[in-house]
Amino acid sequence: MTRYLRTETVGGLLLLAATAVALLWANSPLADSYHALRELTVGPLALDAWAEDGLLALFFFVAGLELKRELVVGELADRRAAVLPVVAALGGMVVPALLALAIGGGQAWTIPVATDIAFALAVLAITGSGLPATARVFLLSLAVVDDLGAIAVIAVAFSTTINLVALGAAVALLAGYWFLQRRRVRSPWLYVPIAAATWFAVHEAGLHATIAGVALGLLTRVTADPGEAEAPAIRLEHRLQPWSAGVAVPMFALFAAGVPIGADSLHAIVTDTVAIAVVVGLVIGKIVGVLGASALAVTTGLASKPRGLGWRDMAAVATLGGVGFTVSLLMAELALAGDAAERAKAAVLLASAAASLLGAALLLRRSRVHRTANT
**pLDDT, tens digit (0-9, with 9 covering 90-100), for 61-113:** 988 888 888 888 877 777 888 899 989 999 999 999 999 999 987 778 888 98
Its pTM stands at 0.81
- Per mean pLDDT, which range of 84-93, 249-258, 354-363 is the poorest? 249-258
**pLDDT, tens digit (0-9, with 9 covering 90-100), for 149-205:** 877 787 677 666 778 899 999 999 999 999 999 888 888 889 999 999 999 999 888
Q: Assign 3-state DSSP to the chain and report helix, strand, coil percentages, each to 5.
A: 80, 0, 20
CA pair distance 153, 42, nearest whole angstrom:
28
103 CB-near residues (< 8 Å, 6+ apart) = 273, 276, 277, 280, 281
105 CB-near residues (< 8 Å, 6+ apart) = 273, 274, 277
CA pair distance 351, 335, nearest whole angstrom:
18
Which helix (H) or strand (E) segment is 41 a member of?
Answer: strand 41-42
Q: For domain 2-159+207-374, which architecture applies?
A: Up-down Bundle (1.20)
CB 231 within 8 Å of CB 222: yes
